[in-house]
């Protein structure tokens, strides 16, 4: 990518940002050193999850898998079990896949090489290469988008490729002369602690005097807000069948949430309004799930994984893969909070 010319970030701005960070950075556990493995794990966990929520999971995960080799050698079920509670389990699966490549080949030092690995998107690859190896490439997460949109007073539709490229160039500009491992973290820290979405602490910002949005009185309008996807109401009727201390699970090919994961068999129906009666409610991204638990009988077992109602999805799908899992092993095979709630909400008996 061709850098912006001339640089929009002055050397004084860079120095002020760096000095602010060195004085105000939080003592986060993944900042103890620049080990690329620790940085990679933390950045993956921090996607879709707050810093405070990640801290205990990070410590626990590193205790169980202290090196990339330990992660690569571990069974996937152990990785998923230690990821339980963080959600977005595709992240854990990609960690496991990528660790097997990294354990064999070592960590690449450039984002263009890292981005080829499973789960390494534009942000993660740049974060690891810059923080661990000081590659002069900018990172672009939600905090950085907010800081740069305000700093330069840019009303950009950051979710669109062309506008995102502009913001990426602005981020690259900040770290063009380094040290990128500190400047990138400084940008993220500034957004996380000072340049807040609401009620930003401008008086504490190292860029207060040069912030273009502050001069234009547009801070509250930036960055632009992407319209949220409308929530969908789903009725999930999972079936509990236990035999000889084992419970039946299927590889999900019938529900739009937890796709391809091992869950309880059953059926789903999309509705326009929420039902009056249900056992519990759970949300996964834009899916608002109302759960009605049922014990298996001959009739229900004959239609597991199928749907008769024309409004029910996946009517033509073949029967999903099934397996019987020991009750004490369910958390390893299916560590999802939706499953945990379902099993706790019904008395399981032979």
Q: Which of 153, 126, 168 is nearest to 40 (CA)?
A: 126
C-alpha span between 269 and 267 (Å, rounded):
7
Close Cβ partners of 93 (under 8 Å, ≥ 6 residues apart): 76, 79, 80
Close Cβ partners of 91 (under 8 Å, ≥ 6 residues apart): 44, 45, 47, 83, 119
C-alpha span between 2 and 52 (Å, rounded):
36
321 is catalytic: no
C-alpha span between 184 and 137 (Å, rounded):
9
Catalytic residue among 11, 43, 116, 326: 43
C-alpha span between 51 and 262 (Å, rounded):
29
CB 278 within 8 A of CB 213: no
> Cα dist. 50→37, 128, 350 in Å?
20, 19, 41
Instruction: Supply the DSSP symbol for 228.
Output: P
What positions carry a catalytic annotation?
A: 43
């Amino acid at each position: 990518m061709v850098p912006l010319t001339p640089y929009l970030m002055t050397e004084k701005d860079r120095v002020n940002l760096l000095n602010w960070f060195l004085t105000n950075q939080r003592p986060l556990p993944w900042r103890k050193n620049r080990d690329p493995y620790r940085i990679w794990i933390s950045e993956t966990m921090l996607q879709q999850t707050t810093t405070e929520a990640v801290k205990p999971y990070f410590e626990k995960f590193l205790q169980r898998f202290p090196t990339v080799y330990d992660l690569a050698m571990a069974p996937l079920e152990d990785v998923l079990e230690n990821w339980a509670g963080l959600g977005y389990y595709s992240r854990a699966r990609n960690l496991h896949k990528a660790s097997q490549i990294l354990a064999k080949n070592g960590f690449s030092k450039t984002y263009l090489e890292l981005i080829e690995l499973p789960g390494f998107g534009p942000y993660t690859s740049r974060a690891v290469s810059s923080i661990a190896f000081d590659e002069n490439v900018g990172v672009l997460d939600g905090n950085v988008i907010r800081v740069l949109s305000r700093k330069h007073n840019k009303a950009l539709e950051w979710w669109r490729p062309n506008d995102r490229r502009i913001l990426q160039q602005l981020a690259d500009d900040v770290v063009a002369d380094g040290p990128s491992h500190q400047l990138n973290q400084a940008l993220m820290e500034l957004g996380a602690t000072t340049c807040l979405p609401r009620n930003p602490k401008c008086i504490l910002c190292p860029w207060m005097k040069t912030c273009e949005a502050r001069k234009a009185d547009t801070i509250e309008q930036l960055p632009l807000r992407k319209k949220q996807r409308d929530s969908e109401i789903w009725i999930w009727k999972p079936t509990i069948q236990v035999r000889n201390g084992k419970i039946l699970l299927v590889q999900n090919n019938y529900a739009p949430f937890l796709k391809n994961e091992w869950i309880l068999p059953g059926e789903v129906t999309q509705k326009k309004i929420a039902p009056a009666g249900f056992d519990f409610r759970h949300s996964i991204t834009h899916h608002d799930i109302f759960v009605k638990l049922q014990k298996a009988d001959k009739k229900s077992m004959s239609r597991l994984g199928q749907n008769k109602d024309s409004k029910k999805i996946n009517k033509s799908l073949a029967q999903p893969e099934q397996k019987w899992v020991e009750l004490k092993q369910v958390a390893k095979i299916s560590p999802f909070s939706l499953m945990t709630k379902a099993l706790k909400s019904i008395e399981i008996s032979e």
